[in-house]
A and B are shown apart, each in its own frame.
Chain A
């Protein structure tokens, strides 16, 4: 590319807000024809919002998009598709009950007289696309549900190519692939770019970005902190520094100087679920916060849910106070004193139609009942004490829980376990959906609970959160614990190195 061609796509000062969150705060992005442009950034930096704007799934609040020199608005996914922008999401959006060819041509089937689908033509065309992608072994007539994850991704790509595509957005395409499949993916990307198609490539793996990327844009807190860096020559350190440098420093509560020496409350030995995580050992002592750091798909949430019995362990033991728990039984875990604040609060923890009180008391109902008969006065008072303990606002125990902010909903979940008298709290992404101001308060609450003698096992994809809050940190990569250390001996760069490069340090 000797003379600088005009950029294929320019995004200029894109902003997008959701209630309580400013997801994109003036992002600039420039993509040239035939290049692989990598997007980097931590979770919550705004990558997925940005690609959804690009795909037409989200409408930006402000900013301009220029496509091949013309100002455009991407009103809908179809509008983006018509311009030649295709997106391959991490969660593949294929219809499992339809065939490969039907999926590829879903919504733009070759037809006779406008409505009679010419199935044979679709299969022939799909076969040609699959050949172009180097996957002749996929039969266009097969059901997508019968294919492997890697093959499904190929189908998704074939679908993108079935349009006259000029830009393909790939959201962590390598996450579900093994090394051979990744090599094939890279070959496809190379072929596409050789044909002049641009690729926006999102990945957490710096090594991949070095291998196939041309330029890198780094997002942080909804802004592009660096654009158009050369992918090959920018040092890892600089990229990580760009990703982690923060405008808002979280205020973390102080750690106790020394943890009291005590027998572990929670002991996990050799806990295993194939395909999710390798044998895991860990201990949590009273007053201790243990953090699990890792990327999405590293097995952190799965470990937490298996400890809790929500998933059944294939091997290994969970012991509370030295007594083993019945595997796969949430009730046994709760009875032994475990409490989970799950990642998806609304879907997994809260009864959205119910009041704060009822959400708090749901795990302790037997304490307020005599022969199944509820003493609602006692229930109300106890729930209110628990919510006041955590400064849940507003202090209206009869208000529906759905009216609370994210942070206060999380407090309602914590109050539930506080009321239950739980001994070990399992926190999965405790600050997800909680705005920045409320986080510090939540951190203080968690630390206070630990100071009062609880054990806490914390999972977070936000490295600073784990480092700031936990006493001890286990770093996970693809289901393996790659490093264990006291939090004060680690810094963000080191953890990001570990989770992204995966060089085992222990």
Chain B
């Protein structure tokens, strides 16, 4: 018996090299810890769904679906909602919900495309979009973490106010972007090695989101707060500050998404981001993030987004009606959740 209880020090006896290894398992740094991507049943089933969809697309429209330009299209269409979903995944993992994401995207996109903002050019638009997103997130976070409001209500209030403000700014008009550098970013000429810049941003947000959730203390705290807020508090985690940061993060993602949408649509409109909240929540949930909190997966969320975008793409390529598309989307949500119930042993 060494002295395990000396005050915490980096050099404490607990931390220097372990004695002889005699455990049956768990040698090294754990069975999975070295790998970046840990495939589990759920992730594999989502990839399976995606592959099945690709087959359907490939069979029904072989020339159009499998074209490079179509892959570029699917990824581009997934980028805006994908960035929002990454932020949403963090919030849901912490046991919260953010119903205001669509409204924040709308507000940020119109605020960033007013005549006054456009005078400051590319930087002005980007900066405004991000700041408006973060600002809305800050209000959400303060209301929830320090105002003691239920996330559902606080973000619902934000949804209403942000949409209202967006309408007031635009008066219902479409605000065209006249900054060439912003518009160019959405053009084919801006593709890097065939990858649209929007997709690069989406990929970067995904990778950073994955690393933050899985490899940082911030991510760990997020999971702990969502899994058991009381236990997290008694373990010495500042639960309220964590919650504030999480809604800030969601707002930041909305700001980035708003900028992407401005680039994509070449304009800002108060109707932007319509029902993003539902799409983002649905993608996160079918991805495997627990709505009750405590478990979140960025990989799953991104796969969820890609599944939805691919479905939309296949329907459009096959020229199906929007009514059929909506029915199928609903059916797929139900099917995905049921499959997960079957394949996961957790409650």
- Offer 26 A-B interface pairs, CB within 8 angstroms, sorted by A: A330-B233, A337-B7, A349-B235, A351-B223, A351-B294, A352-B227, A353-B346, A354-B227, A358-B223, A362-B237, A364-B8, A373-B215, A374-B216, A374-B217, A380-B29, A381-B15, A394-B24, A395-B23, A397-B30, A398-B31, A420-B8, A421-B5, A449-B5, A452-B5, A453-B6, A454-B5
With A353-B346, A386-B14 in contact, is A330–B234 under 8 Å at CB? yes
Q: Are A334 and B218 in touch, CB under 8 angstroms?
A: no
Q: Are A351 and B224 in touch, CB under 8 angstroms?
A: yes
Interface residues of B (CB under 8 A from A): 1-10, 12, 14-15, 18, 23-26, 29-33, 215-218, 220-221, 223-224, 227-228, 230-238, 290, 294-295, 346
Within A217-232, the residues touching B (CB, 8 Å) are none
A136: interface (CB < 8 Å): no
A165: interface (CB < 8 Å): no
CA distance A381 to B27 in the complex (A): 9
With A349-B231, A395-B26 in contact, is A372–B4 under 8 Å at CB? no
**Chain A contacts for B290, CB-based, 8 A:** 353
CA distance A93 to B57 in the complex (A): 57
**Chain A contacts for B230, CB-based, 8 A:** 347-348
CA distance A490 to B125 in the complex (A): 76
**Chain A contacts for B228, CB-based, 8 A:** 347-348, 350-352
CA distance A330 to B31 in the complex (A): 34
CA distance A377 to B217 in the complex (A): 14
* Nearest A-chain residue to B6, judged by Cβ: A421
Q: Are B294 and A453 in touch, CB under 8 angstroms?
A: no
Q: Are B33 and A380 in touch, CB under 8 angstroms?
A: yes
Q: Are B5 and A422 in touch, CB under 8 angstroms?
A: yes
| Closest beta carbon of chain B to A354's beta carbon, Å | 6
Q: Are A347 and B236 in touch, CB under 8 angstroms?
A: no
**Chain B contacts for A374, CB-based, 8 A:** 215-217, 220
Within A115-173, the residues touching B (CB, 8 Å) are none
Q: Are A448 and B227 in touch, CB under 8 angstroms?
A: no
* Nearest B-chain residue to A378, judged by Cβ: B15
With A353-B227, A376-B215, A384-B26 in contact, is A342–B234 under 8 Å at CB? yes
A234: interface (CB < 8 Å): no
**Chain B contacts for A376, CB-based, 8 A:** 29-30, 33, 215
Within A418-454, the residues touching B (CB, 8 Å) are 418-423, 448-449, 452-454
**Chain A contacts for B237, CB-based, 8 A:** 362-363
**Chain B contacts for A340, CB-based, 8 A:** 234
With A350-B231, A352-B227, A396-B25 in contact, is A421–B236 under 8 Å at CB? no
Q: Are A331 and B238 in touch, CB under 8 angstroms?
A: yes
CA distance A422 to B25 in the complex (A): 28
Query: 10 shortest A-B CB distances, which residue pairs?
Result: A421-B8, A334-B236, A377-B29, A351-B227, A365-B217, A452-B5, A395-B23, A454-B5, A363-B235, A372-B216
**Chain B contacts for A330, CB-based, 8 A:** 233-234, 236
* Nearest B-chain residue to A365, judged by Cβ: B217
**Chain B contacts for A357, CB-based, 8 A:** 30
Partner among A331, A354, A373, A385 whose Cβ is within 8 Å of the Cβ of B14 = A385
* Nearest A-chain residue to B1, judged by Cβ: A448
Within A378-405, the residues touching B (CB, 8 Å) are 378, 380-382, 384-386, 389, 394-398
| Closest beta carbon of chain B to A436's beta carbon, Å | 25
Q: Are A453 and B5 in touch, CB under 8 angstroms?
A: yes
With A376-B33, A398-B30, A420-B8 in contact, is A353–B294 under 8 Å at CB? yes
A68: interface (CB < 8 Å): no
* Nearest A-chain residue to B12, judged by Cβ: A421
**Chain B contacts for A32, CB-based, 8 A:** none
For the A-B complex with A340-B234, A349-B234, A398-B32 known, give 4 more contacts whose Cβ atoms are closer than 8 Å. A351-B227, A351-B231, A380-B33, A420-B236
**Chain B contacts for A212, CB-based, 8 A:** none
Within A310-333, the residues touching B (CB, 8 Å) are 310, 330-331, 333
Q: Are A381 and B5 in touch, CB under 8 angstroms?
A: no
The number of chain A residues with a CB under 8 A from chain B is: 57
* Nearest A-chain residue to B227, judged by Cβ: A351
CA distance A180 to B224 in the complex (A): 47
Q: Are B236 and A449 in touch, CB under 8 angstroms?
A: no
**Chain A contacts for B6, CB-based, 8 A:** 421, 452-453
With A349-B234, A376-B215, A421-B8 in contact, is A354–B223 under 8 Å at CB? yes
1/0 contact string of A68-89 vs chain B (CB within 8 Å): 0000000000000000000000
**Chain A contacts for B217, CB-based, 8 A:** 365-366, 369, 372, 374
CA distance A397 to B18 in the complex (A): 14
Q: Are A418 and B233 in touch, CB under 8 angstroms?
A: no
A201: interface (CB < 8 Å): no
CA distance A310 to B24 in the complex (A): 39
A493: interface (CB < 8 Å): no
CA distance A132 to B228 in the complex (A): 46
A308: interface (CB < 8 Å): yes
| Closest beta carbon of chain B to A389's beta carbon, Å | 5
Partner among B25, B234, B346 whose Cβ is within 8 Å of the Cβ of A308 = B234
| Closest beta carbon of chain A to B26's beta carbon, Å | 5
* Nearest B-chain residue to A397, judged by Cβ: B26
1/0 contact string of A202-224 vs chain B (CB within 8 Å): 00000000000000000000000
**Chain A contacts for B1, CB-based, 8 A:** 389, 448, 452
| Closest beta carbon of chain A to B229's beta carbon, Å | 10
CA distance A381 to B30 in the complex (A): 9
**Chain A contacts for B15, CB-based, 8 A:** 367, 378, 381-382, 385
Q: Are A381 and B220 in touch, CB under 8 angstroms?
A: no
Q: Are B18 and A449 in touch, CB under 8 angstroms?
A: no
Partner among B3, B8, B25, B224 whose Cβ is within 8 Å of the Cβ of A362 = B224
Q: Are A358 and B5 in touch, CB under 8 angstroms?
A: no
CA distance A342 to B233 in the complex (A): 12
A480: interface (CB < 8 Å): no
A335: interface (CB < 8 Å): yes
CA distance A349 to B224 in the complex (A): 10
Partner among A342, A396, A449 whose Cβ is within 8 Å of the Cβ of B26 = A396
| Closest beta carbon of chain A to B296's beta carbon, Å | 11
A37: interface (CB < 8 Å): no
A477: interface (CB < 8 Å): no
* Nearest B-chain residue to A377, judged by Cβ: B29
**Chain A contacts for B224, CB-based, 8 A:** 351, 354, 362
With A310-B233, A347-B228, A348-B231 in contact, is A389–B220 under 8 Å at CB? no
* Nearest B-chain residue to A376, judged by Cβ: B33
Q: Are B8 and A389 in touch, CB under 8 angstroms?
A: no
Q: Are A373 and B216 in touch, CB under 8 angstroms?
A: yes
CA distance A372 to B217 in the complex (A): 5
CA distance A396 to B27 in the complex (A): 9
A416: interface (CB < 8 Å): yes
